[in-house]
Amino acid sequence: MKKTVLVIGGGGREHTLAQKFLKSPLVERVFCAPGNAGMKKDGIELVAISELDNQGLVDFAKENQVDWTFVGPEIPLLNGIVNVFSEAGLKAFGPTKEAALIEGSKNFAKEIMVTYQIPTADYQTFTKFSEAEAYVKEKGVPIVIKADGLAAGKGVVVALTMTEAIAALKDMLEDNKFGESGAQVVIEEFLEGQEFSLLAFVRGEEVYPMVIAQDHKRAYNDDKGPNTGGMGAYSPVPQIPQAMVDQAVKEILVPTAKGLVKEGRPFTGILYAGLIATEAGAKVIEFNARFGDPETQVVLQRLNSDLAEIIDDLLNDRVPTIDWQETGFSLGVVVAADGYPGDYQKGQLLPEIPAFENSHVYYAGVAEQEGKLVTNGGRVYLVEAAGETLKEAQEKVYGILDNLDTTGTFYRTDIGDKASK
Measured CA to CA, the distance from residue 290 to residue 72 in angstroms comes to: 7
Q: What is the pTM of this model?
A: 0.94
In angstroms, what CA-CA distances link 115 with 100, 107, 108?
18, 12, 11
- For 92, phi and psi rounded to 5 degrees? -135, 135
Measured CA to CA, the distance from residue 218 to residue 229 in angstroms comes to: 9
> Does residue 152 contact residue 179 with C-beta atoms inside 8 Å?
no
User: Given a cut of 90, is residue 365 above it in pLDDT?
Assistant: yes
Name the burial class of residue 268, with classes exposed (0-12), middle (13-18) and buried (19+) by CB atoms within 10 angstroms of its CB: buried
User: Given a cut of 70, is residue 113 above it in pLDDT?
Assistant: yes
User: Given a cut of 90, is residue 301 above it in pLDDT?
Assistant: yes
Measuring CA to CA, which residue among 261, 259, 291, 300 is closest to residue 273? 291
Measuring CA to CA, which residue among 8, 15, 136, 158 is closest to residue 81? 8
> Does residue 136 contact residue 169 with C-beta atoms inside 8 Å?
yes
In angstroms, what CA-CA distances link 30 with 22, 283, 382?
6, 37, 21
Domains of the chain and any CATH numbers: 3-94 (3.40.50.20), 128-183 (3.30.1490.20), 194-315 (3.30.470.20), 329-420 (3.90.600.10)
Looking at every residue in the chain, the average pLDDT score rounds to 95
Q: Kindly report the three-state secondary structure assignment for every residue of 342-394.
A: CCCCCCCECCCCCCCCCEEEEECCEEEECCEEEECCCEEEEEEEEECCHHHHH
Three-state DSSP state, 80: coil
In angstroms, what CA-CA distances link 68 with 10, 48, 64?
17, 18, 11
384 or 106: which carries more pLDDT confidence? Answer: 384
Going by the DSSP 8-state scheme, the letter that residue 420 receives in this structure is: G
Say if strands 194-203 and 329-337 run parallel, antiparallel, or are unpaired. unpaired
- CB neighbour list of residue 392: distance below 8 Å, 6 or more residues apart: 329
Measuring CA to CA, which residue among 211, 190, 215 is closest to residue 200? 211
Q: Please tell me the predicted confidence (pLDDT) of residue 148.
A: 86
Percent over 70 (pLDDT), the chain: 99
Q: Please tell me the predicted confidence (pLDDT) of residue 152.
A: 67
User: Given a cut of 90, is residue 380 above it in pLDDT?
Assistant: yes
Percent over 90 (pLDDT), the chain: 86
Give, rounded to a whole angstrom, the gap between the first and last alpha carbons of the chain: 51
Measured CA to CA, the distance from residue 237 to residue 421 in angstroms comes to: 12
pLDDT in tens, 229-281: 899 999 999 999 999 999 999 999 999 999 999 999 999 999 999 999 999 99
- Which secondary structure element, helix H or strand E, spans residue 12, and what is its range? helix 12-23
pLDDT in tens, 120-165: 999 889 988 988 988 889 889 999 999 888 876 668 888 899 999 9
Phi-psi region of 408 (alpha: psi -120 to 50; beta: other; left: phi over 0): left
> Does residue 337 contact residue 375 with C-beta atoms inside 8 Å?
yes
Query: Of the ranges 174-178, 306-310, 335-339, 344-348, which one carries the lowest mean pLDDT score?
Result: 174-178
Strand 194-203's sheet: what is its strand order? Answer: 206-209, 194-203, 268-278, 281-288
DSSP letters for 241-294: -HHHHHHHIIIIIHHHHHHHHHTT---EEEEEEEEEEETTEEEEEEEESS--TT
